[in-house]
Amino acid sequence: MTANHTDDLQLLARIKVGESRAFDLLFMKYYPNLLHFSRSLLPYPSDEAEDVVLEVFQQFWRNRETINIHSSLSSFLYTAAKNRVNDYRRKLKPNTSLENIPGDIMASEEGPDHTLNYKEIAENLERLIKLLPERMQLIFRMNREDELSYQEIADLLDISINSVKTQMYRAIKFLKETYRFDNSIA
């Protein structure tokens, strides 16, 4: 069990008893990636992604006492967002499906130099991640930031697990090669 999964379970327990601060933490943790995910599923341009994600969180808060999560919390939230997008798309066009989807490291307490180095590395890595194609970036973030398994990502995006593996392989290869190149220039 990962630290992220344990943290999520603790947040969920606090949310179930009505602790709004825990809900705020959950919102801040997952909102950006859920928004990006929802935008990738909706026709461009669309402002509906924000509404979709906010509805997911509103529903989550309203049903907090009775929610039973059988997988990871992140998988639950992504699935809820995907279902909301499906609902929205059905309203736009009957029988529309998602078949054609468009394309934490903690700083240790070793002192300010280490923290500064960590920030520089994190900023460089974030810059490189943003250079990835949108679809690859989404898959990479779902796996690395939200800790979704390849199978969970494949199910959410309605693609094969091999497609997820290929996208992750290419993303990691690109990031390694580009990071090495950037650092050899500096």
User: Could you tell me which CATH number the domain at 112-185 has?
Assistant: 1.10.10.10
Percent of the chain with pLDDT over 90: 37
Every domain of the chain with CATH number 1.10.1740.10 lies at 3-92
Cis peptide before 102 (omega within 30 of 0): no
Every domain of the chain with CATH number 1.10.10.10 lies at 112-185
Q: Confidence class of residue 32 from pLDDT cuts 50, 70 and 90?
A: very high
The residue type at 176? K
Rounded Cα distance between 68 and 74, Å, is 13
Give the pLDDT confidence of 43-82 residue by residue, as tens digits: 766 678 898 999 999 999 999 999 888 778 888 999 999 9
User: Could you tell me which CATH number the domain at 3-92 has?
Assistant: 1.10.1740.10
State the residue for tokens 């070793």: 110
Rounded Cα distance between 103 and 112, Å, is 40
For residue 164, count other CB atoms closer than 10 A to its CB.
23
